[in-house]
Amino acid sequence: MLKNVLIANRGEIAVRIIRACRDLKVGTVAVYSDADEHALHVRLADAAFRLGPAPARDSYLNIDAIIAAARASGADAVHPGYGMLSENAAFAQAVADAGLIFIGPPADVIGVMGDKVAARAAAHACGLPILPGADVIDSDAAGTHHNAERIGYPIAVKACFGGGGRGIRAVHDATELDAAFASAVRESINAFGRGEIYLERYLDRPRHVEVQIVADNHGNVLHLGDRDCSVQRRHQKLVEEAPAPNLPTALREEMLRAAVTLAQSVKYVGAGTVEFLVDHALTAFYFLEMNTRLQVEHGVTELVTGRDIVKLQLRIAAGERLGLTQKQVRVSGHAIQARIAAEDPWRRFAPQPGRCGALRLPGGRGVRCDFGIESNDAIAAEYDSMFGKILVVSDDRESACAKLVSALTEFSADGVVTTAPYLAQVLVKPDFAAATHDTGSVERDWAPEGEQREPAPSPTSIRPAERRVNIATDRGVLNVRIGGLAHTAAAAATGGVAGRQTAHADARAAASADPISPMDGLVISVAVNVGDIVTAGDLIATLEAMKMEMPILAQRAGQVAAVNVRAGDAVTTGARLCTIAPAA
């Protein structure tokens, strides 16, 4: 078994891996940015190393810094988690070149399957159905438009090296293409450090079904069943369940076989997921991509199979055999997961970073909570908005839904607006209950009902426990003691009043009808100039926060009288982006 694992990630997944390592008596090393100095994964690990400043490109995407920390810590293996560098072949190779074990597939396999264009070719070569798409990476406007016309609208603009729904835009005609392309490139670079893009036919109203694969270094490959991840917004999953409901048996079995065949053909090792789109009639499926890493939703598969996928990853990396056959894999019951994110569904899922006060997690038989924070922890604006997951398992889908609704109702995070109340609404939607929903249901049919309840304020003082951390320097490893850090009431207020800020922003926006920032964030671009005539729905600016871009639209027709921001500006919740006067 491995002796010491560095987790090259943060948040919920870092905590999940640390706890699995503990069960196997494997040592753990955390890495952190300046924004995560007091994070839960840092507190739980046996040792912790600073990577750099808060932006991911300077810390969690900094391969050299991570390798230096791994060497300095004495780790013998690196677990990439999900997102960040988890599907970066150069990172996997750098880990191997440093004489360490990469907990995942070999770099050459990631190079093929982590590149969505190469993965499409590999899937097609072994007989899997694929949607029409661009065979080469589009890197210029002329090439993009030419390929789009050849494929036929609507199309999906997709990041070649992305995942988790990042870097994907749906485009319905040529007028939308250039903006969608530029936006997908930006988001992909921010999330994964790479901006290559390709095009694919956009399938209308599909189901998103995926198959969990595990494979060892001895040629054994098997599946752990399937999952449905069709509840999405902006191509990012909100609710996942296992097994996928209402699939025809023949279609399900064909997808399971196809996933195993693909994994065998590329000599896959470790845990991975083969994703498919299923047409609305449930008569055909198409290869979407293979995620060469652990999935956010791996827990629902664990609950219905009784197999700990993270521990399987660790054992496979240590050279052990899977120790089970396909016939020994049994799916029992039904599991559902809700992703808890610091977003406001009542404001188009605007990110709401801040400091959480009291965190109350649900409990009871068949309820599991995987979270990256505890009470009084911060939800950093620099990273993904998801900070936890609530999972349930029960005998059947109907009782699992009821159990998850109860768990979401019991959950609370003081001072933070979250997706939990909205997801409780989703679970009782008639088409969700009947499993007739699709990947567009959230944005097309399931508008939030009622009003978001303002969260309770977070506490006025927070004192993290004293601890020691290791910092890698060019002079060796420094062991530093960090004492309790008291936060003032004013500091806590700036981080923990997302609900009040949102309410105030609502009031200001309603009073003026001028474009107002719904969140703290960065201005990516400004689409108007003084004197421009705009109509309701026209793009005014694009903001970014928590690795998510949000377009800000005009609420009324008129003439732009003043523009108050420019690209690169940081804005706070409620900031007036421009003034729109009645047209002359």
Query: Tens of pLDDT along 309-333?
Result: 999 999 999 999 999 999 999 999 9
**Same domain for 403 and 347:** yes
DSSP, collapsed to helix, strand or coil, labels residue 360 as strand
**Strand pairing class (155-159; 197-201):** antiparallel
* pLDDT for res 549: 82
Looking at the predicted structure, is the pLDDT value of residue 454 above 80? no
**What's residue 502's pLDDT?**
45
Among 65, 83, 103, the domain boundary falls at 103
Among 180, 201, 222, residue at a domain's last position = 201
98 and 147 in a single domain? The answer is: no
Query: Mean per-residue pLDDT for 281-301?
Result: 96
- Mean pLDDT over 23-51 rounds to 98
Q: Long-range contacts: 322-326, Cβ < 8 Å, 24+?
A: 322/214, 322/215, 322/216, 322/220, 322/222, 324/222, 325/222, 326/222, 326/223
If you average pLDDT over residues 154-177, what whole number do you get? Answer: 81
Q: Are residues 513 and 558 in the same domain?
A: yes
How high is the pLDDT of residue 185? Answer: 81
Please state, in angstroms and rounded to a whole number, the distance separating the CA atoms of residues 90 and 110.
9
Q: Which of 448, 465, 485 is the last residue of a domain?
A: 448
| 245 part of a folded domain | no
**What is the pLDDT at residue 222?**
98
* CATH code at position 161: 3.30.1490.20
Looking up residue 15, the CATH number of its domain turns out to be 3.40.50.20
- Nearest 10 degrees: Cα torsion 104, 108, 111, 116: -80
Residue 277: inside a domain:
no
342 and 383 share one domain: yes
pLDDT given at position 461? 37
Element (H or E) spanning 145, and its range?
Answer: helix 141-151
Domain co-membership, 97 together with 149: no
- The domain tally of the chain equals 4
Residue 32 confidence (pLDDT) above 60: yes
Q: Which runs of consecutive H residues, i.e. helices, occur in 355-497? A: 397-410, 420-426, 430-433, 441-444, 489-496
451 pLDDT band, cuts 50/70/90, is confident
* pLDDT confidence tier of residue 187, bands split at 50, 70 and 90: confident
What is the per-residue pLDDT for 482? 52
Give the model confidence (pLDDT) of 526-579 as tens digits.
999 999 999 998 999 998 877 678 889 998 999 999 999 999 898 888 899 999
**Of 465 and 423, more confident:** 423
Shared domain check, 139 and 83: no
- Residue-range definition of the domain harbouring residue 160: 132-201
Residue 14 falls inside a structural domain: yes
Max alpha carbon distance in the chain (Å)? 76
**Is 144 domain-assigned?**
yes
Whether 475 maps to a domain, the answer reads: no
Which pLDDT value is given to residue 548?
A: 73
Q: What angle do CA 357, 505, 493 make, to 5 degrees?
A: 30
pTM attached to this predicted model: 0.81
In a domain, 435, yes or no: yes
**Helix 177-192, helix 141-151: angle, nearest 10:** 110
Q: Which residues contact 1 (CB under 8 A, 6 or more apart)?
A: 24, 25, 26, 314, 315, 318
Please report the DSSP string for 442-458 in residue order.
HHHT-PPPS-PPPPPPP
Res. 460 pLDDT band, cuts 50 70 90? very low
pLDDT tier for residue 62 given thresholds of 50, 70 and 90: very high
Half-sphere exposure of 345 (CA within 13 A, CB side): 25
Q: What is the mean pLDDT of the chain?
A: 88
pLDDT at position 179: 86
Residues 438 and 535 in one domain: no
Answer whether residue 189 is part of any domain: yes
Asked which of 3-12, 145-154, 467-476, 495-504 is least confident by mean pLDDT, the reply is: 495-504
Task: Please report whether residue 213 resides in a domain.
Answer: no
